[in-house]
Chain A
């Protein structure tokens, strides 16, 4: 053994590579691996429909995730929930591949095309170019892309977009009403575009609307300066909960008592910070109602800004299964309940009935077009 250090290294290195490959589905996308990546509980079910000869069983919907991974508590996980709903309710076969880097986008899409997927769902703004290229090369395959739409439209692609700012505006209004210090805060993971900034901008709009209605002066920390799209507070990644915690502590120390973290899993850092600082403050969830996806934070959760990616993905698959024409742009709004805010749960009693009524009225005004969030983004 003493003379063979290199062989020992080689064995260990191979083991390492195997492990690394097992984790990132996108590293070496093969059919068997894609299936093995699916959560254990789903694996048997995904085969069941093909055996039970249901009429739609031969429809195969495939999803390519962004780099956040299928377990990100928000974005990708939410889209996958829509896929799972389609599997159980429409009996379609579903599959996914995780992208581990931006280079995987096109490769994963091609992989699914070679597997004859009937519909390919790509999750995220960043997959825009890869999806357009694949859709134009394969006009017979239907595509749907989350958080992106094409202008001009590509006939076989559905752009699923969300008026997230409408829901976030309601949350901002509620936050401004709850805040005791008159200071609230918001920050994002990476400034990758509307998928993140719509939450932050809408939140600011809600606070500004509150100030206008009430003659109040609630301030927002970390928001963007409208004249400078590059500004605003971002932690620089979607990995480090510790970074998010650091930003939250800074905001708490500057007096904020309601924080909206926009970055999926790193939002947990906000709640850890509030707990650690023993602050009389609350946080907000994003994408889904966090009392369900992260119940451990319920005590400190004022509400969540809802973005029903799952619904829109499900509906896009449903349209495809029914043979309906693809909708070039499908907008989820307050009106069609694609966006909104979650109940206040633990804080139900701390929000006055008056404010709740005003929230209802604001929602109606937004739906009617009398109030437009972008008018309230700031000076």
Chain B
């Protein structure tokens, strides 16, 4: 160490070198784990289904010899580890990290599917579906926090959206009116949060938490009192079925994974792009970020801080309301108490792991969705792992992968701090 300092290495460079070495050691450990942990009998094969049942162009199954595949992948990881340890990959470090992660996951799946079959396309399709409400929640959080308001009430906004969408769609028979109503409800709750947080400068965590309790209590109350007796009239909404996009949906694998979804998923893709471009490439986005980072400076140059915060929080609420509608009219076709089951909070985690960036949040959501999809496959294929442990996997994987890959994320500087105009 002292030698390194003597040669004029800066502290950051030195830290970087250490990080590279640690990564190399981790790769080597992973390789050993793969050889020991995923060892299978040599005569088994793993079958990966690549074709969805409804695919236009069937793809043959991928059948690989289990043991050989595992050892080969372990070899690749060990090789990457050796190079990483000795001279590092420089600018390609992240790429190699991704490859190693892929090799590890694939070896794991080969082990799981040894002597059985697993539909890989199905796993990826589920991955996208499971990430939808989470990413809606994350986008809502990004809109609010980029403008400096912490929105912990996303869970409540999702739940209210789910409830209102189910009731309005059932009553009117039109799911699009249901979506509009859910978006409006999310916006209204957000307006309440905005008034409390911006005008009355209530602690934003407390205000958000209070909205969550309010919505949980209110929807459960209305569910027992109104939905239960009038189940047929008020809680049997039409569901929006998948729309296959012509041509694109016929692409093998990718078509099923990306282009055979309902309008919520396509809207989500659009929102991710719009919010990303809006935040980072437009005047509006620059103003929002200025308000979130340094409201006083923004105010000095003539930006109306309160106005920007109000509009962003309300927009965020509308996005969450739309995400909530997904639960009932986009997915299950009926409201159940507390059906959002904490997805809003996972969304907040995805926002943080994604570095307050829409695309990052989407990737974080996908990591969770993937782990969730794998988790349910494992238990279906009767792998002898307790279900309670498997159910924990998505959360653990999300933390490890995203925290390890992304490193430290920085929140907007004025996040959660009320602005007082002098």
- B338 adjacent to chain A (CB < 8 Å): yes
Name the residue on A nearest B389 (C-beta).
A230
* List of A residues within 8 angstroms of B22 by Cβ: none
Looking at chain A's contact residues, the main secondary structure is helix
Contacts of B294 in A (CB 8 A): none
Q: How far is the CA of A327 from the CA of B334 in the complex (A)?
A: 40
Q: Looking at the complex, which of A207-215, A234-242, A335-343, A347-355 is the stretch in contact with chain B?
A: A234-242
Residues of B within 8 A of A8 (CB): 196, 200
Is there contact, CB below 8 Å, between B206 and A9?
yes
- Are the C-beta atoms of A247 and B380 separated by less than 8 Å? yes
Residue A103 CB within 8 A of the other chain: no
Find out whether the CB atom of B217 lies under 8 angstroms from the CB atom of A23.
yes
The segment from A45-53, A266-274, A308-316, A366-374 that touches chain B is A266-274
Is B400 among interface residues, defined by CB-CB distance under 8 A? no
Assess the B380–A233 pair: CB atoms within 8 A.
yes
Residue of B nearest to A293 (CB): B231
A32 within 8 A of partner (CB): no
Given A13-B210, A250-B373, A268-B332, A225-B384 contact (CB < 8 Å): yes
Counted as pairs of residues, one from A and one from B, with CB atoms less than 8 Å apart, the total is 172
| CA–CA, A225 and B385, complex, Å | 10
Contact across chains for A254 and B122 when beta carbons are under 8 A apart: yes
B388 at the interface (CB under 8 A from A): yes
Contact B332 A272 (CB under 8 A): yes
A23 adjacent to B236 (CB under 8 Å): no
Within 8 A of B (CB), among A273-314: 275-279, 295-296
Please give, as numbers and ranges, the residues of chain A lying within 8 Å of B341 by CB-CB distance.
237, 239-240, 242-243
On whether the beta carbons of A16 and B242 are closer than 8 Å, the reply is: no
Q: Is there an interface contact between B336 and A241, defined as CB atoms closer than 8 Å?
A: yes
On whether the beta carbons of B53 and A253 are closer than 8 Å, the reply is yes
- Cβ 8 A contact of B327, one of A71, A191, A231, A242: A242
Whether A272 lies near B331 (C-beta < 8 A) is yes
B52 contacts across to A, CB distance below 8 A: 253
Considering the chains assembled together, what is the distance between the CA atoms of A117 and B223 in angstroms? 29
Q: How large is the interface on B (under 10, 10 to 19, 20 to 34, 35 or more residues)?
A: 35 or more
A69 partner residues in chain B, CB cutoff 8 A: 224, 337
Given the known A-B contacts A39-B229, A191-B387, A269-B332, are A239 and B338 also in contact in the complex, defined by CB atoms under 8 Å? yes
Contact (Cβ within 8 A) B379 A233: yes
User: How far does the alpha carbon of A252 sit from the alpha carbon of B53 in the complex, in Å?
Assistant: 9
Contacting residues of chain A (235-265) with chain B, CB-CB under 8 angstroms: 236-237, 239-243, 245-247, 249-254, 265
Bound state CA distance, A9 and B220, in angstroms? 22
B379 nearest in chain A by CB position: A233
Give CA–CA (A102, B108) in the complex, Å: 38
Q: How far is the CA of A11 from the CA of B338 in the complex (A)?
A: 24
**Residue on B with the closest CB to A244?**
B332
Tell me the nearest residue of chain B to A1, going by C-beta.
Answer: B200
Distance between Cα atoms of A81 and B2 in the complex (Å): 79
Contact: B387 with A19, CB < 8 Å? Answer: no
Chain B 106-136, CB within 8 Å of chain A: the 1/0 string?
0000000000011101100110011001000
CB under 8 Å from chain B, chain A span 315-336: none
Known: A40-B229, A254-B119. A234 touches B391 (CB 8 A): yes
Complex CA gap A12/B209 in Å reads: 12
A22 at the interface (CB under 8 A from B): yes
Contact A254 B210 (CB under 8 A): no
Is A89's beta carbon under 8 Å from chain B? no
Contacts of B337 in A (CB 8 A): 69, 239
In the docked arrangement, what's the CA distance between A343 and B202, Å? 59
Q: Are the CB atoms of A221 and B381 closer together than 8 Å?
A: yes
Q: Is A232 an interface residue (CB 8 A)?
A: yes
- Interface flags for A178-202 (1: CB within 8 Å of B; 0: not) read 0000000101000100000000000
Distance between Cα atoms of A222 and B213 in the complex (Å) = 35
Residue of B nearest to A191 (CB): B387
Query: What are the interface flags for B207-230 relative to A under an 8 Å C-beta threshold, 1 for contact and 0 otherwise?
Result: 100100110111011011100110
CB contact between B217 and one of A16, A232, A241, A243 (< 8 Å): that residue = A16
Report A-chain residues with C-beta under 8 Å of the C-beta of B65.
none
Within B295-332, which residues are at the interface with A (CB < 8 Å)? 327, 331-332
Distance A12 CA – B199 CA, assembled complex (angstroms): 16
Whole-angstrom CA separation of A255 from B340 in the bound complex: 28
Name the residue among B241, B327, B341, B385 with the largest chain A CB count within 10 angstroms.
Answer: B341
Q: Is B239 an interface position by the 8 A CB rule?
A: yes
* Closest 7 A/B residue pairs (Cβ): A253-B122, A5-B200, A20-B217, A230-B386, A241-B332, A19-B217, A233-B379
A and B contact pairs by CB, cutoff 8 A, 28 listed:
A5-B201, A9-B200, A9-B207, A20-B213, A20-B217, A23-B217, A23-B220, A39-B228, A69-B337, A191-B388, A228-B386, A231-B384, A231-B385, A232-B387, A233-B380, A236-B387, A237-B341, A241-B339, A242-B332, A245-B332, A254-B119, A254-B377, A268-B334, A269-B332, A272-B332, A275-B239, A276-B241, A279-B53
Q: A246-B376, A249-B126 are in contact. List 15 more A-B contacts (CB 8 A).
A: A15-B214, A20-B216, A230-B387, A231-B384, A231-B387, A239-B339, A241-B331, A242-B332, A247-B380, A250-B126, A250-B373, A254-B380, A275-B241, A279-B53, A295-B232
